[in-house]
Amino acid sequence: MAALRSVRSKQQVNKFCSVGSALLGDAVCFSIKEWDNTLRTLEAARCDSLLLPPLASLPTSAVCEAVRHYHNVYMKASQLIVLRPLHWRKWQEGLCEFMDHTNNNGTDGGNSSNGSNTTLHTGCCELEVLCGAFLSQQREQFVVAFWGTVDSCSLRLKLLVSRFPHEDEIISVSPVAGDRMDGNGVDLEEVRIAAEESADDMGEGAILLRKRYFRELYSFQRLACESAHLFGFYASVGKAERLWLTDTLLLERHEEAAEVLIRRSFKRDFDVPSLELVSGELLEDYKSFEVNESKQRVLLKRAGDTLKGLWCILAHDKFVKHQSQSKLQQKGVEEEYECGVEEEERSCGTDATALKFPEELVRCISCKAVRSVTAFATAVQSIVECNPSSPPSANLERLEFLLSLLLRWFEAYTGERHRGDIPLFLDTDLWEFLLQRHTELLKWVMSAYCSGETDVDYNSAVEAVQFVCLSVLRCLDVYKAAVVSKRCEESVKDKLKCVAGNTVAEWLKHTAIGTFLRGIRRACSDLCASGTRFCLSIPLMLIVVRSSVVESRLLLLCHGISCAVDVRQLLLPMVDLGFKEMSQLDKNADGTLLTSWVGSMTSVLNSLRRTLRLHGAEHAPADDFVCELHRHYLSLQRLSPAAVSDIVTDAWTDFLSSGFVVEGGLRGSRRVSLFSVSSERRAALHGAQQMVNGTHVDVGHEERDYKRLRKE
C-alpha cells in the first residue's frame, strides 16, 4: 500500500515536476536566458492549480515530491550560472510557502482513518524538516554566490549570532590526549600551539577562555577578515563580537580575561578603515571601555594611523560615491516601477564614475601580500554590484587579475606562522573557501563566454577553465610546501598533504572537469551534431579536441599513473577525429586553421606520450601502443604544412628519444626509429617545394614501407 500511495502521490504532481526536468540530471546548460525562462515557468506552474493542485488537497508525500523538484531546479541553476537577485528572492519565497503548508489542518488526500491525525502530524513534521533543510541550503548558496557583498556578510553575521549557545551549553574544547579534533572540526593541536606561543601576550585566564570559546572567536575573526573591504559594514562584526563577549563573559566570573579578548577585538578593528572609525563612534566605544590609560594611548595612536592612511581615504571616497549612486538608482527604479517596467527588464542607468572599477583602491590594499584577500574581495564586490540588472562575468584578463590576487594572498597566508593568534582558516575551511572562490570564478567565465544564444566563445571558456584549474593546483603545491615547515609530526604532515590532495582531486573531477569542461565539450558536440553553425573563428570540433587535451593535462597533473588508461580512452578518439578534419583542409590555402589543428593534435599526441612515461622503468609500455603512437606522429607530419613541420618534428623526436624501444623478430632490431623522422620530414619539405614549383610528389611509398614493417 505504501508503494501504491507513493506512485499516486507522484502522479498528482507529475505535471509540475515535468517543468525544468530536462535541465536536471546529467544535462549541463550555461545559457542564462534558458535558465531564466525555466525558472519563470516554474514559478508560474507553482501558482497554477492545473499544474500543481492546491497543497491542502495533496497528501504530504506529494507535497514533498513537489518541493524537492522545485528546490532541485533552483539548486542546479545556482551551481551552473549566477542567478539574478530576483530568482534568489523567488526561491526563498517558494520554499517558505511550501513550509507554511505544514500548519494546514487538511486531511491526507482525503484518506482518513483512525490513525489519520498521527499520520498527518508525522507528514507535516517531515515536510517542515525538508523545507527547513532546503532553506538552509538556499542561504548557504546565496552566501557563497554573493560573497564579498554586504548582503552576504550581513546574513552570515545574523546566522552566526543566532547559533551561539548559552554559557551553560558550551562544551570545552581543551585538548584531550590522543585526539586532535573536536566535534566542530577544530584542530586542537593548532589551538594548543597557539596558546603556548601567546602566553606572553595574554593571561592564563584569557588563553583558557579562547580555547573554550574557540569556535565562536574563530567565526568572528574569519567574518571580520572577509568583510574588511566593506567600509560601511565592517565595524558591525566587531560590535556583535564585543556584545557577545560582554553578555557571555564580562558580566560573569571571567571579567579580567574577557577584557583582554574585548581589547584585542578593538585592536583588530582599529587596523581596518570603517565608517564607525571615521565618524568617531568606534573610538568613543573604546574610550568608554578602556580603563588602562597606557593601553588606550597605544590603541588610539593605532587608530589615528589607520585614519591617515591612503586605504582609509580611498575607501571613504568610494563609499560616499556608492551611497550617492544608490540613491540615484533607487529613484530611477521607483520611476520605472511607476511606469510599469518589470524588475528584470529595468535598465541600470548608472553613472560611469561611480561604477568604475576601483583599481587604485585594490592596488593600495594589495601592497601588502597578506591583505590581498581584502583586495580580492574589493574587486569581487565591485564586479557583483557593478550592474544589478545583469549577472557578473569575467573575461580572461579579469580572471587573471583576480586569480593573481587570490594566489598572492594564499602564498603569504600559508607562509606565516600565525604566532599567538587563532588561525584565520582551519585547514578544512581554507580549502573550502579557496575552492568556492574558484568555482564562482568558473561561473563568471561561463557568464562571459557561454551564456548567450549565438554570441559564444567556447574556446576562450576552455582556456579560462584551464587557467582556474592550474591556479588551484598551484595553491596545492604552495600548501604542501608550507606544511613541511609546520611544527608537527611527519605522519601529521603526510595526512594534511594527503587530505588536501584528495580534496583538490575531487573538486577537479566533479566540478571543474565533470561539470564545466565536459559541459563545454558536450555543448560543442551537440551543436556539431545538430548542424548549427556559428560565426566562430575556431571550428567547434577543434574546441572539442582542445577541451579533451585540457582535461587530459589536468588528470595527469593531479592523478598521475592512476589515470593513464582514462587519458588514452579520452584522447585516442580525438586522434581519428582530428586527422579526419585535417585531411579535408588544403595545405596551400590560408594555413591559420591548419596550423591550429597541428598545434592541438601535437598536444594530443604529447599527452598520450606522457601516459607511457608514467609507467616507469619497471613497467614497460606495450609495443602495440608505442607503434600506434609512432604511426600517429607520422600521419601528423604528413598532414602538417611545411611552415610548422618543426613543431611535429620536435615532438616526434622527443617521443622516440624517450627510450621506448620496440624490438622485432631479431633481437635488438628496432621497428620504430629516429630515422623515420628525418625521412618523413624530408618528404614533407620536398613535397612542399614541388607544390611551389607546380608539380606533385608522391609520398605514399613511405606509408607502404611502414605497413610492410608492421606486417613483418
- Cα atoms in the 13 Å half-sphere on the side-chain side of 662: 18
Cell of 266: 578593538
Average pLDDT, the chain: 80
Query: What is the per-residue burial (b if ≥16 Cβ within 10 Å, else e) of 649-659?
Result: bebbeebbeee
Tell how far CA 379 is from the center of its chain: 16
Which range has the top average pLDDT, 8-22, 259-273, 321-335?
259-273
- pLDDT the model gives residue 182: 42
Whole-angstrom distance, CA of residue 463 vs CA of residue 469: 10
Match 581596518 to its residue by C-alpha cell. 272
Whole-angstrom distance, CA of residue 352 vs CA of residue 354: 6
- Cα atoms in the 13 Å half-sphere on the side-chain side of 243: 9
Please list the alpha-helical segments (H only) found in 21-103: 32-46, 60-80, 85-100
| In the chain, % of residues over pLDDT 70 | 74
CA distances from 695 to 322, 556, 687, 690, 703 (A): 71, 45, 9, 5, 20
**Identity of the residue numbered 154:** S
Among residues 127, 96, 130, 123, the alpha carbon closest in space to that of 107 is found at 123
Residue 238 near residue 224 (C-beta atoms within 8 A): yes
In this predicted structure, the answer to whether residue 692 has a pLDDT above a threshold of 50 is no
pLDDT in tens, 676-685: 565 555 555 5
Residue 502 near residue 479 (C-beta atoms within 8 A): no
Cell of 55: 497543497
Residue 461 near residue 442 (C-beta atoms within 8 A): no
DSSP state of 632: H
Per-residue pLDDT band for 669 (boundaries 50, 70, 90) equals very low
Task: Supply the DSSP string of 287-342, one letter for each residue.
Answer: HHH---HHHHHHHHHHHHHHHHSHHHHHHHHHHHHHHHHHHHHHHHHHHHHHTT--
| In the chain, % of residues over pLDDT 90 | 49
29-43, 493-507, 620-634: the lowest-pLDDT one: 620-634
- The angle formed by the CA atoms of residues 255, 220 and 287, to the nearest 5 degrees, is 50
Match 515530491 to its residue by C-alpha cell. 65
Instruction: Point out which residues pair with 176 in neighbouring strands.
Output: 179
CA distances from 203 to 190, 197, 200, 259, 261 (A): 18, 12, 8, 11, 10
- pLDDT the model gives residue 441: 97
User: Mean pLDDT over residues 525-539, rounded?
Assistant: 76
pLDDT in tens, 305-363: 999 999 999 999 999 988 887 766 665 544 543 454 454 444 444 433 345 788 999 99
pLDDT in tens, 590-632: 678 888 999 999 999 999 998 887 654 445 556 788 888 989 9
Residue 523 near residue 450 (C-beta atoms within 8 A): yes
User: Mean pLDDT over residues 270-295, rounded?
Assistant: 93
- The angle formed by the CA atoms of residues 348, 351 and 355, to the nearest 5 degrees, is 85
- pLDDT the model gives residue 420: 58
Match 584585542 to its residue by C-alpha cell. 264
- pLDDT the model gives residue 563: 85
- pLDDT the model gives residue 255: 80
Among residues 395, 394, 372, the alpha carbon closest in space to that of 383 is found at 394
The greatest distance separating any two alpha carbons of the chain, rounded to the nearest whole angstrom, comes to 100
- pLDDT the model gives residue 168: 45
Cell of 353: 564614475
- Helix axis angle, 60-80 relative to 32-46, nearest 10°? 160
In this predicted structure, the answer to whether residue 457 has a pLDDT above a threshold of 50 is yes
Query: Which is more confidently placed, 100 or 567?
Result: 567
User: Mean pLDDT over residues 393-400, rounded?
Assistant: 92
CA distances from 429 to 133, 386, 495, 537, 629 (A): 21, 29, 16, 42, 44
First-to-last alpha carbon distance for the chain, in angstroms, is 70
- pLDDT the model gives residue 349: 41
141-145, 234-238, 422-426: the lowest-pLDDT one: 422-426
- pLDDT the model gives residue 535: 58
Whole-angstrom distance, CA of residue 516 vs CA of residue 523: 10
User: Mean pLDDT over residues 60-72, rounded?
Assistant: 92
Which range has the top average pLDDT, 77-81, 112-116, 190-194, 483-487?
77-81
- Cα atoms in the 13 Å half-sphere on the side-chain side of 430: 21
pLDDT in tens, 254-263: 788 888 899 9
Task: Supply the DSSP string of 115-136, one letter for each residue.
Answer: THHHHHHHHHHHHHHHHHHHHH
- pLDDT the model gives residue 574: 94
pLDDT in tens, 149-185: 999 999 999 999 988 755 444 444 433 333 444 433 4
pLDDT in tens, 35-51: 999 999 999 999 988 88
User: Mean pLDDT over residues 372-380, rounded?
Assistant: 96
Whole-angstrom distance, CA of residue 359 vs CA of residue 355: 11
In this predicted structure, the answer to whether residue 102 has a pLDDT above a threshold of 80 is no
Whole-angstrom distance, CA of residue 703 vs CA of residue 696: 17
Spatial CB neighbours of 221, under 8 Å, sequence gap ≥ 6? 268, 422, 424
CA distances from 79 to 74, 461, 503, 512, 583 (A): 9, 17, 18, 12, 40
Cell of 271: 587596523
- pLDDT the model gives residue 670: 44
DSSP state of 166: P
**Identity of the residue numbered 332:** G
